[in-house]
């Protein structure tokens, strides 16, 4: 079983330290949710795990499959089996969803074997049709330009389709519920649930309990000031929904004092 081990992670942006000693283990088959107020470092964690160059790691390790992924480029991390669904996916006019996905698959294949000529088109079409059917997506979606003119829900569904096609072992969902109405949220969550299983570990980053009504986490963690300060089961998210974050701040201010 693959495990993502985040050990004492410290990260800064320019001169500001954002993550201040964060540790977390995620196993395949587990769904973890990270919650916390704005500015606590949730998205910083996501971007750091995938290798965004603006986020500077000053201390700590992230171990996956026996490697410290902090030493790898973003594409190498992706090929290793880590996937990030963005909060704000970028539009790529002129590139269809299908062409984007086939290019991503072929890039991975060639990285493993430079002589690989890529996935044959009939095989790719069969794969894409299968994944879109599983996610209950209209087949015409594949011919649209990636995220160009997409609604918020369509952008997030395109991210989940990428996840289905690339088959990662660890998936990080950075505020996938951002900007979605209830119907779009339910559709995206159903897609994540369809992909969940013993070979996929999921890290869901969110502000709100509502997403966790549809994606049921095994573990919930609360971030405050760049650290995980509370961990528990799904009931912890329900407690946050009822009580907000004030009790967390008060408790940990007392501990710090």
Closest CA to 217 of 233, 205, 229: 233
- Residue 186 is predicted with a pLDDT of 86
What pLDDT digit, counting tens, does each position of 22-36 carry?
A: 999 999 999 999 999
The rounded radius of gyration (Å) of the Cα atoms in the chain is 19
Closest CA to 83 of 192, 202, 217: 202
- Residue 81 is predicted with a pLDDT of 93
- Tokens representing 68 are 């410290």
What pLDDT digit, counting tens, does each position of 35-91 carry?
A: 998 889 999 999 999 999 999 999 999 999 999 999 999 999 999 999 999 888 899
- Residue 208 is predicted with a pLDDT of 79
- Residue 257 is predicted with a pLDDT of 44
Question: Which residues, in sequence order, are CB contacts of 148 under 8 Å at separation 6+?
Answer: 91, 92, 93
According to CATH, what is the number of the domain 3-256?
3.40.50.300
> 137 forms bridges with which residues in the sheet?
none
What residues of the chain score a pLDDT lower than 50?
A: 256-257
- The domain ranges of the chain are 3-256
- Residue 224 is predicted with a pLDDT of 93
- Residue 175 is predicted with a pLDDT of 87
């Amino acid at each position: 079983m693959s495990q993502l081990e985040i050990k004492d992670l410290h990260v800064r942006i320019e001169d500001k330290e954002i993550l201040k000693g964060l540790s977390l283990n995620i196993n395949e088959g587990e769904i973890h949710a990270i919650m916390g107020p704005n500015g606590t470092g949730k998205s910083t964690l996501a971007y750091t795990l995938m290798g965004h160059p603006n986020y500077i790691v000053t201390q700590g390790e992230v171990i996956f499959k026996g490697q410290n992924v902090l030493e790898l480029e973003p594409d190498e991390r992706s090929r290793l089996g880590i996937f990030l669904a963005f909060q704000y996916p970028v539009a790529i006019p002129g590139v269809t969803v299908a062409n984007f996905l086939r290019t991503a698959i072929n890039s991975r294949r060639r990285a493993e074997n430079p002589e690989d000529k890529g996935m044959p088109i009939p095989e790719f079409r069969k794969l894409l049709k299968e994944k879109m059917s599983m996610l209950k997506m209209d087949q015409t979606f594949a011919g649209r330009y990636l995220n160009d003119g997409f609604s918020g829900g369509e952008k997030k569904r395109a991210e989940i389709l990428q996840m289905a096609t690339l088959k990662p072992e660890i998936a990080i969902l950075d505020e996938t519920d951002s900007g979605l109405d209830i119907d779009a949220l339910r559709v995206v969550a159903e897609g994540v649930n369809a992909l969940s299983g013993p070979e996929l570990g999921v890290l869901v980053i969110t502000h709100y309990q509502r997403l966790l009504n549809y994606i049921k986490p095994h573990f919930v963690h609360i971030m405050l000031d760049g650290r995980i300060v509370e961990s528990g089961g799904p009931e912890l998210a329900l407690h946050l929904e009822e009580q907000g974050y004030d009790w967390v701040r008060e408790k940990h201010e007392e501990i710090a004092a």
